[in-house]
Each structure stands twice: as C-alpha cells, then as structure tokens.
Structure 1
Amino acid sequence: MAIPTLHALEECSDFSKTVQPYIPQLYALPERLSDVISGNESLIKLYTETNPLISGFAISVFLGAVFLVAAEVNRNYSQVDRFWSLLPTFYIAHFDLWARLTGIPTQRIDAALFFSTVWSIRLTYNYWRKGGYEIGSEDYRWEIVRKHVPKFVFHVFNWTFISFMQSILLFLLAAPAYSLLLATQFEPELSSADLAFTTVELGLILTEWFADQQQWNYHAAKNEYKSTGKVVPSYKQADVDRGFLTSGLWGYSRHPNFACEQTIWFILYQWSCFASKNLYSWLAVGPSFLIMLFQGSTWLTELITAGKYPEYRDYQRSVGMFVPTSASAYETPAAKPKVIRTSELAKKQKKK
C-alpha cells in the first residue's frame, strides 16, 4: 500500500511508520517516470501507488532545480518568491487529490485546503499589487546581500538555500496535511475541533489582511504627500514625515503580518498533532524552519529600515517585533529640549 496500515491514532505522526518505509519509492521514481514517458506505465497508476508525502517531496526537489536554473539564467533571485503564495496550497491540494483518487475520506483535508486557498488568494493579491510579478522584479534585500558577500558565496547560497531549501520548506509547511490524511483511517468525519482550527486559521488570515491593508494605505498616503505636498486627511504631518507606519496593528507589533504568517503554519502543525493525539512530531520541522527564516529576514529588513529612518530605533525599543509587549499603542517620543551648557553660552558671548 502507498500509505501504512496503522493501529492507533498516535502512529499517524510516527516517522518510522509513516515515512521511513516509503523512502525507497523516492529512489525508484526516476525509473518509473521513464516508464510513464515510454508508455509502459500509467501516470495515474504511478501517482496513486506512490506515497503522497514522497511524491510531494519529489515535486519540491524538482521545482528547486527549476528555480535554480531560472535564477542563474535571469540573474534574478526572487524565483521562489513568485510561487511562495501558491505552493503550500498546491501541496495540500495534492494530498486532497491523492485521497480522492484512492477512495480516502477528504473532509479534513478539504477544510485545510479551504483555509489555504483563502491564504493563497490574499497573499498572491498583495504580492501582485506590490509589483512582485512584474518582469525583472526582485526582492530588494537580495541586491544588498550580493553587495556584502563574495560572488561565489552568493551562488552557493542560491544553489542551497534560496532555490532548494526554500522550495522544500514550502512543501514541509503543507506536510501536516499528510498526518490529517492518515488520521481519517480512524476519524473520517469532520469534527468540531477541525472546524475550530479552520476558524482560527481564517481569523489569522483576516488579521493579516488588515495589517497589509493598513500598510498599503500608509505608503499610498506617503507617496501622495511626496508628489503633491498634501497630507491625506486620515494621517498627520508627523506620520508621513516619520517614514514608517506606527498606527493600527502596527502600533502594537512591528510586523503583525509576519506574526500571523508564522502562526498560520504553526497552527496547521498543531492541528495535525491534535488529530493524531500527539504533543509534538517530526512535522514541526516546517513551521520551525519558517520561524527561523523570519527571524533572519526580519532582522535584515529592520537593519535597512533603521538606517533610513531615525525614529525607528525608538519604535524598536517600544514595540515587540512580532508579539505585542505592551497594552498601549506606540507613541512618538516627545522632542527633548536642547540643553545649552554654560561653556557654550560663554563662547557665544566672546564671539559677540
């Protein structure tokens, strides 16, 4: 069988029972694919007879190679970025399709696919309106990184992290759906807990949407001020002069959208733990790696921002990076009166 016959819910997240026995299928895939191409085997047969976690992982490795070639040919290293909002949903849809083709109940995976589809629509739209899909568009941070590391080192970074590791990460974010699929052997119906997890996920996506919209509105107002010299009525002169957003959700968290993004995939992992009655499992690899990635990328983003806007250091001291550290919103520090020393007064008197 392409999935294991398990005897308890707790086994649904057991790596030695649900993954390890199927690793040989990964090595056999190239030969079986050549049989499909030559017409000696059906693609549907190969698909349904291959463990869905193994085939999903194989797709992520193949896409990593595609991203690598595209990045090196175009000298543009945002290839994965263009698919970031789509691939986790693609992999959950892959688990859903595999379950349907093999006659396994899909209600739980349908719920996961529903929230993930909403997540994809929101993030894809936000990336599009920022110009992410325009020809030649690239994350500004890659250019800065290239300036500070040797060319060879950056290419190695692309061959490993940017192309392959990020591609595999996007698969691992969706991998908890595999545990949900296996758990349907014991609990095929959608439970109230499944609905609760779905509701929480949708709530996080809605919060993320508010955060992104607040930021979009602010930057639109800042650009309007730069071009016309007029301050949009919903903002003050100090807001546009500051250069960065500190109101709304951004008054409590420096990156409320990033906080939601990390939490969304951590909750899916927790959903898989709940469904399999485990406190933790190997499926934590995906969300844990994502959290570490956000720590590094957010540090770089803030380093750049603090170099552009003087007040940002005060903002960092007052507001948590992801989790709010105060019940009150950020307020711009009052300007400190200039202290004039007696020696300075004496010098001015002499000049007179």
Structure 2
Amino acid sequence: MDSFHVLNEQAPTFVWPVKFCVAMTATTYVLSLLTGNVSQVDRVWTFLPTIYTAYYALLPLWPRVAPTFFFPYTPEAISSSIGGSFSPRALLMLALVVTWMFRLSYNTWRRGLFSLKDEDYRWEILRQKIPKALFQLFNLTFIAIAQNIILFLLGIPTQIAVSQPHTSLGVSDYVLGTLGFLVILIEFTADNQQYSFQTYKQSGKLNMNEWPGARIRWTPQDAERGFVTRGLWAWSRHPNFFCEQSFWVIINFFPLLSSSSRELALSTTSITSLAPLLPCLVLCSLFYSSTLFTEGISLSKYPIAYAAYQQRVGMFIPLLTPVWGFFLSLQGKKEEVDQLVYGIGDRKKLA
C-alpha cells in the first residue's frame, strides 16, 4: 500500500473535522473582537479535542448526509473498512479523552473560567507589553487560528486508529490505557493541590475537606511565599502541565504501538518520519513556550524565591529534582535554596 493510496483513502475522514475547525476558528475570533476578551478558545479547549476524537471513534453512528450544518456526518467516500464498524482501540481512546474532558471541565468551572467575562491573566499582561495592532495580529494568528489547529490535531491519533484494522485490544493498548487513566488521576491531584493552595492564600483558612491528596496543612509562610511548593509541586514546577503533555503523548502512541498496524504505520511514516507524532510534538512545543511566559511572570513577582524554585525543582520532569538538589549540594547552596523553596524563609527575601 503506497503513501498516495493511503492519503487518498483517508482524505474524506478530514472533511467534517476541517469544516468544524474552520467554523470554530472564525467563531472564537469574531467573539474575541465583539467582547474584547481573547479567551474564547480557552472556554472551548476542554470540549474540542473530545468532539474531534468522538467524531472518529463513532464514525459508524453518523449519517451519510448532515441534517444540520454542524452535525457530524460520514461522507459516502469513506470506505466501509474505516466507517463500517467500531474500532475497539478508538473507543478506548475516546473513553480516556472523555475522562480528560471531565477533569479539565471541572477545574475550569471551579476557577470561574467559563464566565464570558473572564480572561486568562497572561493575555492582559501581553496586551500591556506589545502594541495594540501587534496584539490583534497575535490574537488572529496564534490565539484563534493556531490553537484551533492544535485542538484539531489532537483528534488525529484517533483518525489513525480507525484507519487501522479494527482488531481486538492488545498489550500496548492495555498498558497505555492504564497509564492514561493514571496520568489523569495525578493531574487531577495536582489541580486540586493548586486550587487548595490558592484558596488558602486568598482566605487564610484551611479546608481539610478537599479532595484526597490535596488536604495539605498550608501555613502563613506558604501564602507569604506566593506560590505552591508542596505536594506534587515540590517535585515538579508544573506537574499539571507535565501530566497534560504526557496524556496526549500516550494518546498519540496508541495507534503507533499497535501490533496490527505495521503495514499502515510504515506506509504513513514514509511520508515523513515525524508526521504521526505531530499532534503531541506541537502540543508539547506550545506548553513549553507557554510555561516560559508564565514563569517569566512568576519570576517578576517573586524574583528571589521563584529563582530558587527554578534552581531546585525541575520544570516538568520530577526525576530531575533530586539531580538539581545533588548539584546544589556540591555547590554548598542546597540548604539556602531549600529554605527559600520549602522552608519559612525571611520575609524580605521572599518579597
């Protein structure tokens, strides 16, 4: 099976998702102009990957002709091998993504980010740093267009899965499925710890009725420091981001590690060796650049304490944290840095 034949056979599976992506891009951009709030994509971020994933995983359910404009449909040109039966692998991927959606939706809701008036604080800071015209160009090209394309790409692994033989689940599927649910649980814990800390920081009151894993006895010194350094955050500066990237890497590898996809995988990867990994590579690049921007803001607010946090704790990977601690020990700085990051510290130093 050559690359051209593979692309020609799979091309119809992109018709509805691409139309939907274009429509969502236009809608979120126009709304950002009408409201002056550029966080419109943020409000649908939690749903769009699930919609694209569900479209592919549930292809046999869709009608051949769309009854309404946005309603998903399966074009006549889609072969029966792709749209005629359900793929167990794609259904497992859908279950994972739906679970991911509930976690993110819950965290987004309790933070008030579904409010039409709320905007990501980073956009306001960026708005103040660059000219108005340049910000509007950024709004169009990155916030509206690029982010919607990334959300569309997150559904591509499921498209690859449904294009493979619809065989029973294998060892790789069970391993990746278990890892996927575990990563969601860890990310949920990280979210809860951050939410618990921010709640305590604002109210000064402990709430020991938090979710398991987030019942941490915060202290006034923790609040004074300004950012969370306990729980999972003692091992990773962004455990939630690390889990988020890990989750989509896992989703990306479902079809690539399938034992029933050797022929298709070889024919697709012949187009370009990195093409099947594009969704997770693009997402990880986005998270890395976004994290650098976020940390720049934190560093400006807590120049000494956050700089120490960066020295002591890995940005994403927890295994790097003891390594950084070892190097600080060799330099004779570990005790001082640990005091700033984990200890009480001096009020002036933590300003």
The TM-score range, normalised by the shorter chain, is 0.7 to 0.9
Q: 1:261 aligns with which of 224, 244, 247?
A: 244
Matched, 1:321 2:315: yes
Which one has the largest radius of gyration?
A: 1
Tell me if structure 1 keeps the 8 A contact 2:236–2:321.
Answer: no
Task: State the alpha-carbon separation in 1 of the partners of residues 216 and 159 from structure 2.
Answer: 50
How far apart are 1:281 and its partner, in Å?
A: 4.5
- 1:15-69 CA-partner distances (Å, limit 9, x unpaired): x44335665xxxxxxxxxxxxxxxxxxxxxxxxxxx2223212211221111111
Task: State the alpha-carbon separation in 1 of the partners of residues 291 and 185 from structure 2.
Answer: 21
Matched, 1:243 2:226: yes
**Paired position in structure 1 for 2:256:** 273
Tell me if structure 2 keeps the 8 A contact 1:67–1:163.
Answer: yes
Gaps of 5+ in 1: 1-6, 24-50, 337-352
Task: State the alpha-carbon separation in 1 of the partners of residues 100 and 10 from structure 2.
Answer: 31
Structure 1 residues 60 and 19, CA gap change in structure 2 (3 angstroms)? farther
Deviates more, 1:152-161 or 1:205-214: 152-161
Task: State the alpha-carbon separation in 1 of the partners of residues 202 and 283 from structure 2.
Answer: 32
Q: What CA RMSD, in Å, does the superposition of the two structures yield over aligned residues?
A: 2.5
Secondary structure of residue in 2 paired with 1:80: helix
Tell me if structure 2 keeps the 8 A contact 1:239–1:245.
Answer: yes
**Paired position in structure 2 for 1:83:** 44
Tell me if structure 1 keeps the 8 A contact 2:10–2:163.
Answer: no
- 1:118-176 CA-partner distances (Å, limit 9, x unpaired): 00000011011101011310001111111111111111112211111111110101111
**Paired position in structure 2 for 1:304:** 297
TM-score, L = length of structure 2? 0.77
**Paired position in structure 1 for 2:19:** 58
Tell me if structure 1 keeps the 8 A contact 2:53–2:155.
Answer: yes
Matched, 1:19 2:36: no
Deviates more, 1:277-286 or 1:84-93: 277-286
Task: State the alpha-carbon separation in 1 of the partners of residues 293 and 274 from structure 2.
Answer: 31
Amino acid in structure 2 at the alignment position of 1:76: N
Tell me if structure 2 keeps the 8 A contact 1:119–1:205.
Answer: yes
How far apart are 1:226 and its partner, in Å?
A: 8.4
Tell me if structure 2 keeps the 8 A contact 1:273–1:281.
Answer: no
Structure 1 residues 178 and 331, CA gap change in structure 2 (3 angstroms)? same
Secondary structure of residue in 1 paired with 2:84: coil
Count of residue pairs brought into register by the alignment: 292
Structure 1 residues 158 and 19, CA gap change in structure 2 (3 angstroms)? farther
How far apart are 1:224 and its partner, in Å?
A: 1.9
Matched, 1:134 2:115: yes
How far apart are 1:266 and its partner, in Å?
A: 1.2
Task: State the alpha-carbon separation in 1 of the partners of residues 321 and 278 from structure 2.
Answer: 31
Amino acid in structure 1 at the alignment position of 2:6: T
Secondary structure of residue in 2 paired with 1:244: coil
Matched, 1:176 2:176: no
Task: State the alpha-carbon separation in 2 of the partners of residues 233 and 53 from structure 1.
Answer: 47
Alignment of 1:112-123 (within 5 A): 112-123=93-104
How far apart are 1:73 and its partner, in Å?
A: 1.0
Structure 1 residues 22 and 105, CA gap change in structure 2 (3 angstroms)? closer
**Paired position in structure 1 for 2:31:** 70
- 1:165-213 CA-partner distances (Å, limit 9, x unpaired): 1111101011111111011x2x522223212211111111001001011
Tell me if structure 2 keeps the 8 A contact 1:172–1:283.
Answer: no
Amino acid in structure 1 at the alignment position of 2:305: E
Q: 1:94 aligns with which of 49, 55, 61?
A: 55
Identical aligned residues as a percent: 34
Matched, 1:282 2:282: no
TM-score, L = length of structure 1? 0.77
- 1:214-239 CA-partner distances (Å, limit 9, x unpaired): 11111111112289xxxx98123321
Matched, 1:105 2:86: yes
**Paired position in structure 1 for 2:142:** 161
